[in-house]
Amino acid sequence: MKLTQEYGSGTYRIRSYEPGKVRINDELIESSVVVTPDLLIRDWAPQHPSQLTVADLVAIIDYKPEVVLLGTGTSQRFPERAVLRELLGRGIGVEVMDSAAACRTYNILMAEDRRVAAALILEQ
C-alpha cells in the first residue's frame, strides 16, 4: 500500500507499507522500527507483539509523545498489560492496531504536527 499525502513539518514520513516492510522517506526497512516526526529507531527489538517488554519502550518514553501507535503486524494483537500500563501511567496515549493502520494514522497525526510515535512490529 503506497501512502502519498505530504503535509506537516516532520522529517520522517511513511511512504508505503506491506507486510514485513515499510518505506520511510526513501529507505526500505524490513525489521521492527520506531518512527516519530524527527526520530527513527531502526532494528527495534520486538519481532512479535508477545516479545514487547517495558524495556523496549525506553526510547519511546524519552521522546515524550502524546500518543504511541503500536502496529502489531498483519493483525491487531495486544501486548502484555504491563506494557500498556507503563505508557498510560506516564500520560502517554496508546492505540494498538495492525501495522498498516498504524502507518496511515501516523501520517495523519504527523501532518497535524502532533507529537506521535509509531512503533511498528514487522514480522518476518
Read off the pLDDT of residues 8-26 as tens digits, 9 standing for 90 and up: 667 999 999 999 999 999 9
At 41, phi and psi to the nearest 5? -110, 105
Q: Is-contact 110 8, C-beta < 8 A?
A: yes
Question: Which domains does the chain show, CATH number per domain?
Answer: 14-120 (3.40.1230.10)
Q: 58 forms bridges with which residues in the sheet?
A: none
Q: 2 forms bridges with which residues in the sheet?
A: 16
For residue 36, the model assigns a pLDDT of: 97
pLDDT digits (tens, 9 = 90+) for 47-66: 999 999 999 999 999 999 99
Mean pLDDT of the chain: 92
pLDDT digits (tens, 9 = 90+) for 38-48: 999 999 999 99
CA distance 33 to 81: 21
User: Between β-strands 93-97 and 67-71, what pairing exists: parallel, antiparallel or unpaired?
Assistant: parallel
Query: Which three cell numbers, joined as nine digits, stand for 117?
Result: 510515535
Q: In what order do the strands lie in the sheet with 14-18?
A: 14-18, 21-24, 27-29
Question: Does 6 score more than 70 pLDDT?
Answer: no
Q: How many CA atoms lie within 13 A of 82 on its CB side?
A: 7
Question: Does 111 score more than 70 pLDDT?
Answer: yes
